[in-house]
Chain A
């Protein structure tokens, strides 16, 4: 169940990153760092705002560490913890 929830958040993140970058969902690898995919500061803040609205959480104020942000996978684990 836990694994399924993590997967759902990760898939949601993949969809949003794909939308921000205008790429196909299949082209988004959850293990690749966001900056290597071409996400910039604007895209990153957009992503956080979308996830905050979607899951009703406060990502910006949750004391996230650098490692939490690095990849879609690490970010999805953190978001799952906050839900």
Chain B
């Protein structure tokens, strides 16, 4: 066993981190920009851009990891090379719009930001402030090499807590071993994961939407539910899917609505395959602020039942139960450690083998309870907090559910040209109906 001491300038990448690097590579190759996301905090009142810059700049300087990049060690394990200090000033730009600017126009501003590639491999984070009269929007754009969605929210939450309490900086970087041991356990996990994928794979590729010839970036549609509507959705999930079964309920509603769109377009080949990211970070005790603490379920919904909401729910619940029982997410974490030896381009091709050149029908995630727990951002009352994730390409389309305090947001993200505007509107309208919100 080759073991190297932990270093402050080196953090080994896990197998899941490496898969995210592959998705980043594939997405960048197709669209010219990274596998990024953006968290948008909508607050009441104006935010002073100078104070925001100073505070954010002081905060991020504590984290040299933010301007690191991937490299490969002498033992061949990939790692994140961390410079001794973060000398890059925070990227923050701002714009002003009229007080009565529509939400759609704000989203168009934000779309431009999330579709902008980072300057080079050392840049992973950027901020944008929109002052819109009596309210403001603070957007944090990040790539998934450095944060998963929950960790990105937690980072903003930490910033807010330090701003509010003026607490001294005391973050201790959590080391990650190279994971160059327990090979038999990893190979056995790889065997089980392989079998699971072969079971999901079919003679034909999963049902997918064709990618547009010209890729101009992602577009976003957002459904935002207040507490009353969110409570209605919880109640409906409880009644139709069972206690605590919100994720299966939300996924079933998404499959049902996208199936309608596929059917309208006369796309009828293959079943639906949907990877669902799940948070593997245990609460409170772990100090894993950066990188990706996730794994995945892989759901397959046969097209024959995709028009029957109850049947979809039952299928998802059964598959979830079977995958938890077999510890598929845990096996995937272990097995993916073996894949780190492969270069990104090779692994990108390998990932498409099982599903006949595809990766998924669409992406889905349900980010449970809000991780950003404060009710304000730098003293401004928060009206909403939502995510704008760029989806890996392929599949180039995804639906995301996410909580913000007592609200719930549903975000449809898709490559420009993949859906007509009317189709995107119809999907959200049907989704709202399916979730039981009037």
Contact = CB atoms under 8 A, between A and B. Distances in A.
Q: Do A and B come from one complex?
A: yes
A11 B435 CA distance: 37
Contacts of A52: 325
Contacts of B369: 38, 40
Interface in B252-286: 278, 282-286
Interface in A6-56: 21-23, 34-35, 38-46, 48-49, 52
* Interface size classification for chain B: 20 to 34
Given A34-B244, A44-B244, 4 more contacts: A21-B283, A35-B243, A41-B245, A49-B325
A77 B246 CA distance: 25
Contacts of A21: 282-284
A14 B248 CA distance: 25
Given A45-B320, A45-B324, A49-B324, A22 B247 contact: no
A28 B436 CA distance: 33
Contacts of A35: 243-244
Nearest to B278: A42
Interface in B232-255: 238, 242-248
B244 A40 contact: yes
B145 to A, nearest CB: 24
A65 B238 CA distance: 11
A22 B368 contact: no
11 contacts: A22-B284, A22-B285, A40-B246, A40-B247, A40-B369, A41-B244, A41-B246, A44-B244, A52-B325, A66-B238, A69-B242
Nearest to B316: A41
Contacts of A80: none
B321 interface: yes
Interface string B314-356: 0000001100110000000000000000000000000000000
A35 B234 CA distance: 11
Contacts of B320: 41-42, 45
A38 B242 CA distance: 16
A43 B279 CA distance: 10
Nearest to A70: B243
Contacts of B246: 40-41
A40 B248 CA distance: 11
Contacts of A40: 244, 246-247, 368-369
Contacts of B325: 49, 52
A83 interface: no
B354 to A, nearest CB: 24
Nearest to B241: A41
A-B pairs, top 10 by smallest CB distance, nearest first, are: A22-B282, A69-B243, A41-B247, A44-B244, A22-B285, A40-B368, A45-B324, A22-B283, A49-B325, A49-B324
A52 B324 CA distance: 12
Residue picked from B243, B278, B285, B368, most chain A C-beta under 10 Å = B243
Residue picked from B244, B246, B286, B369, most chain A C-beta under 10 Å = B244
A49 B243 contact: no
A42 B324 contact: yes
Nearest to B251: A41
Interface string B280-304: 0011111000000000000000000
Residue picked from B242, B284, B324, most chain A C-beta under 10 Å = B324
A43 B280 CA distance: 10
Contacts of A49: 321, 324-325
Contacts of A48: 321
A38 B246 CA distance: 13
Given A38-B369, A66-B238, A60 B321 contact: yes
A23 B325 CA distance: 23
A66 B243 contact: yes
Interface string B354-383: 000000000000001100000000000000
A42 B325 CA distance: 11
Contacts of B248: 41
A57 to B, nearest CB: 13
Contacts of A69: 242-244
A45 B244 CA distance: 9
Contacts of A42: 247, 278, 320, 324
Contacts of B368: 40
B232 to A, nearest CB: 16
A46 B284 contact: no
Residue picked from A42, A45, A52, A66, most chain B C-beta under 10 Å = A42
B297 to A, nearest CB: 8
A59 to B, nearest CB: 10
A18 to B, nearest CB: 11
Contacts of A70: 243
Given A38-B369, A41-B245, A23 B284 contact: yes
